[in-house]
Chain A
């Protein structure tokens, strides 16, 4: 750790010696231990080490960024010289700046080394439990990784942050097969501080395995209708991604965001409250400071449907004249509703349970369309059957306003805490 911090200090000094008016250095040392299951069998153990040195120089209002993955003086000197050369080639911009002074602080979370034998045990257990409980499921790829990351952030205003975080992350891709019939694939994942629980007891994995076994036989929808959609926790992120991109730097600086004048205005149903909680006990895979050097704080982005914060960086804030966000998003915690999931389903006259959305990138105005994968038809409050070759289309902004129920239950992915959300007015079309 001492050497890494010295390397970060060396990086900051190198930028200032090279002529930067303002400078920042983020040095990240990471090690990853990763076990891979491919086609149902353990196949690969990976151990990787990396170092990333991100240097930012501002001179005469011009900014340059350079990144190398070496921390020896020669490499850092070269990167610092390059950052200044890039700054010299940039356009001057008054919005280029670095974080103001904050007291030095060290953060830590999670363990600092993996338990390889327990990782192996959990993956073997996953293979065995899947075969026993879900015999139609084929594990395409299951990855369990332990990542330890040490970050050193220094800038010329005296900001000094050090963080150490160890976390286990799972990601699983799977399909089901019954004779000649195959399901669509599905995937999910979650983060965890430890390996205390079997994989099938975490996130939404067991639910998705059970559903997928049903989905080897599907029925294509015919015709089209406008109805309700229940977004399952695994695909709530698709609707959220549109909102978050629209309140971030690029969309607000370019002026293309439909939410550019929506701060403190209603952008969603009063049922919806979204927090970003990177430093909450509820989230095990958050972050301690932003990439531009501010200690991260938890915040409420949408409060009972009202937009309370844009997700602007320091640069975006200065560029648009709007407040800087106190974090950089993610670590989403969505408030649960009052309605049991069972009753949310019962309230649907005609619609679909959307378990995976495979769609085109939404338009800047929120229009979207895509395939309703791994999904079910709901009629008269009952889940009828799994569907295939069915598309949905609508508008994400309208969908957020048209939320009519949020479940009491939530899925805990470690990196996010998300309920089931029902919205109306979505076009569902089949062949």
Chain B
């Protein structure tokens, strides 16, 4: 994307204004049972402006990246804010600010792979799976690369340029049981362009073998015994628990709309074993899956410690909600496309590790489940969450038993977190999360394994 110097348009700002130029670049390659069903690229770019006047917002965007279009969106956004302000007359004060100037570019330093090389990679991966596991009834391999490049200027002095890429390979394997399909999928990859994420397809062979062995056991799986059960949630699940169960409930816009967490700051909401952080960009010295250094309102992004030793410490804020609650914004306002306005979003939400070993956690369960892989999830204003489980095992007398069929778990998050009795000492990040809330947005999720009680669906 051509770099834009947006400072020359600052003279057009007549109220608090954000001006953003953005390009999202996608590569998608799909093989379904050996058929190359998708081979596509896209580049979606444009400019947007958002203006705040007395408590009302105006927004406008255009795909054209010309000086005229930029001037036009600033004017249209200003007019829209004036339209609402004239009618609503809220008379609200200016927004709190924590300005920053930032440059963060995760572009690869390696020679760029061609589309043909990417297709060859996926073809080789598909061929490897077909050759190695001939008894699969179907397989799908998906390459998805997303690059988000943004240039931002705000009227109160923040500016930034960022290029944050993510490359994900998904492998879906299917086999039949009694003539009906049984499926298991797994994603690989994370932060970076394909050149930095993809090695050789054979690098994935051990992980694919592990996925296949789980699928074989799942094909012989049993229904979970529905009801409230003691479960060990593996790290992959803890991440989605952090995101769905707690994260959404404490997004300040959800709190202001009526979330149960309203008024719970400073209260004990979880076991003392639980500490939950929405990391801005760095964990343990390394970049998080979706690093955010400055958000799309120009706020310097900082870690938000949401739950510390079981006590709720903060909500997640944009500038407006920070003003409402009288706190500092933490850099959680993010937009997906150039034509989207920033919303309060999580970034890299994770439980912190504890002191237990996974094996001893499993051994401590007399009758329950070890749940390993999630699918989709959803949260609620009551903090009741659910997420799909695509891989799990029974635990009988401290030992892993039969695999279980696809199911769903649910619970009241703040109640479930009070049942946590063990937290493992390791930590895994899930790098392929895509969260939907009016817009989609890439998110990171992470955590250790957690032993707790949840409702499990089944028969």
Contact = CB atoms under 8 A, between A and B. Distances in A.
Nearest to B178: A365
A389 B41 CA distance: 44
Contacts of A85: 115
A39 B56 contact: no
B352 interface: no
For B62, B63, B182, B406, which residue has the most chain A Cβ atoms within 10 angstroms?
B63
A250 B88 contact: no
Interface residues of A, number: 81
Given A86-B39, A389-B412, A46 B60 contact: yes
B39 A90 contact: yes
Contact of A48 (B44, B60, B227, B256): B60
Contact of B455 (A68, A255, A319, A431): A431
A173 B379 CA distance: 13
A371 to B, nearest CB: 5
A371 B410 contact: yes
B305 interface: no
B36 A93 contact: yes
Interface stretch (A5-13, A16-24, A179-187, A265-273): A179-187
A140 B388 contact: no
Q: Tell me the dominant secondary structure on chain A's binding face.
A: strand
Given A256-B174, A363-B405, A431-B455, A45 B45 contact: no
Contacts of A388: 382, 384
B228 A431 contact: yes
A391 B43 CA distance: 42
A168 to B, nearest CB: 18
B309 interface: no
Given A360-B386, A363-B182, A65 B40 contact: yes
A49 B389 CA distance: 40
A360 B381 CA distance: 19
B139 to A, nearest CB: 8
Nearest to B123: A91
Interface string A388-409: 1101110000000000000000
A42 B80 CA distance: 12
B182 A51 contact: no
Contacts, number: 254
Interface string B69-93: 0000000110011011001101000
B257 A254 contact: no
Contact of B406 (A50, A116, A363): A363
Given A91-B36, A370-B457, A429-B226, A38 B253 contact: yes
Contacts of B259: 182
B381 A184 contact: yes
A224 B226 contact: yes
B339 A138 contact: no
Contacts of B60: 46-48
A308 interface: no
B116 A89 contact: yes
Interface string B108-131: 000000111011000100000000
Interface in A103-158: 116, 120, 138-141, 143
A39 B256 contact: yes
A38 to B, nearest CB: 7
A52 B26 CA distance: 14
A175 B44 CA distance: 35
A330 interface: no
A361 B375 contact: yes
Contacts of B119: 89-91
B236 interface: no
Interface string B28-55: 0000110111111111111010000001
Contacts of A369: 226, 406-408, 457-458
Nearest to A65: B40
A370 B408 contact: yes
Nearest to A63: B39
A129 to B, nearest CB: 18
A364 B64 CA distance: 43
Contact of B382 (A183, A361, A430): A183
B258 A182 contact: yes
A156 B388 CA distance: 45
Given A44-B84, A184-B381, A363-B183, A393 B35 contact: no
B59 interface: yes
B394 to A, nearest CB: 16
B83 to A, nearest CB: 6
Given A50-B46, A69-B45, A116-B83, A45 B253 contact: no
Nearest to A29: B63
Contact of A70 (B59, B63, B382, B406): B63
For A315, A360, A427, which residue has the most chain B Cβ atoms within 10 angstroms?
A360
Contacts of A90: 36, 39, 119
B295 interface: no
B42 A258 contact: no
B3 interface: no
19 contacts: A41-B88, A43-B55, A45-B57, A45-B58, A49-B61, A67-B44, A89-B118, A90-B119, A91-B35, A256-B181, A359-B408, A360-B375, A367-B406, A369-B226, A389-B384, A393-B226, A393-B459, A427-B458, A431-B455
Q: Which 8 A-B pairs have the closest CB atoms?
A: A360-B388, A369-B457, A89-B116, A67-B42, A140-B257, A429-B226, A364-B181, A65-B40
Interface of A: 38-52, 63-70, 82, 85-91, 93, 95, 116, 120, 138-141, 143, 173, 175-177, 182-185, 224, 249-250, 253-256, 258, 315, 319, 358-365, 367-371, 373, 388-389, 391-393, 427, 429-431
